[in-house]
Structure 1
Amino acid sequence: MPDHDPDELDSFAAILTQLLPGAWTREFRQHTAHDDQHFLTSDVWDMNQVAEALASRTLEHDVILTRDDGLRLFLMDHPRHDEEFLVASMAPANTHTEAFRGVREPDGIAISADPEQATEAITTSLLPRYESALAQVQDNAARINSRPAGADTLVLTWTDTADLSATTEERDVAEVLVGNGFVHDPESTSYVLSGDDTAQQAQSVRAAGTRLAAIGIGVVLRHAPHRASPGTMPVGATPQASARTVRSR
């Protein structure tokens, strides 16, 4: 089914900017067959009917609605219903990919071509889910960005029993470790990965390293420092720590 008349979509969007709560502007975009559709729609925050519509057709035109606080909506023709449009949230730009981890997409909705009905649907159904998801992403991004610069390496230390031990006070780093087989010592900030099954241990380390790299943290393996025999440690010497607290960029 062909797109609606481009003027119809733009006119509809213009009315929405007046009816939606807050101050909105619109950007009407027309595309050619040579435009990169994936790039143009990469920020559309949807894994449901809007994503399906974009995957099944060539996009000829769309509208980006932007609220004065930066929140954006993507508006397009409905591919199967002349009297409806599709609208979806747009993910915040320049945000670390890891900040979206665990956050459910605020999938878009079909809206009536009647602007007042469409406004009510957007206001009561889409925007609350969008703002909730956006708040989660912003909170995750703030935690990722709050770590002091310069300490972006997690040290995994081999113990005498071939286990691996790591120390961190960062919640997202701890979640990665626990999610990949490390066991938390409740009396400390240490996380231990058993060496009973070396193949499984290696697999867990690789998986954890991949996840940590995604949030800007490198991983190094070190052997535990040699402990001098009783009575031979120099006076005033202090045992070296097995691992340090991890912080990101």
Structure 2
Amino acid sequence: MSEKIFVAGAAGAVGSALVPLLVDAGYAVYGSTRRAERAHVLEARGAVPVVVDVFDAQALRAALMRIAPAIVIHQLTDLPPDLDPKLMADAAHRNARVRTEGTCNLVAAALAAGSRRLVAQSIAWAYAPGATPHAEEDPLDLAAEGTRGVSVGGVVALERSVLGAADLMGTVLRYGQFYGPGTSNAEPRGACPVHVEAAAWAAVLALRHAQGGVFNIAEDNPEVSSEKAKRELGWHASLRLRQGVAS
């Protein structure tokens, strides 16, 4: 029987690229969305759709206990179309809630379902000011204020939940700014960009090679170093959906 994976946020930008990779790798993929009208899209990509809201802790727990996935992948965000600057202040609070309350619910449901591994999406631009390029052991910007402070607080809560779960092997992928299909940018933008398909590959490679921990996932740039991911996961920024890598 194929190993079961539950992908939270399977209809999002990374989830949409990730699901076909997991299906091709032989996993039995269950993909969540909170919108029932997206279920057929997940089916078309080879996933079993699961309509559930991460903030409904009871329903989420019941869904995961029914599925009993060995692995849970967290690709949930709550951001406005095209990252509209006029909407980003409110979105920061919603997104932080996904990372705090939503992650807490997802970790609890995974533990109740007997899952063994959890891979979660974080961000690579939450480091405190200091020498660059930032490596994974550098401190996060805990002194940040305003909208950035809200975002960093959500990141800290997410990473603590994922890495602190005693009975789960937790892996955190600190992604750079996405570009490519399904994102707000067709071309690289931001200080540490990453193509969304390369980001999806990082999650697959984390399942193959990672023994837990934190990895920066971004194209070569002056701000953050992804050397650890290259070295330990065999990841590289040129990976795309139709490419394979050595196992």
Q: TM-score range by the shorter chain?
A: under 0.3
Structure richer in helix, relative to its length:
2
- TM-score (structure 1 length as normaliser): 0.22
User: In terms of Rg, which structure is larger?
Assistant: 1
- TM-score (structure 2 length as normaliser): 0.22
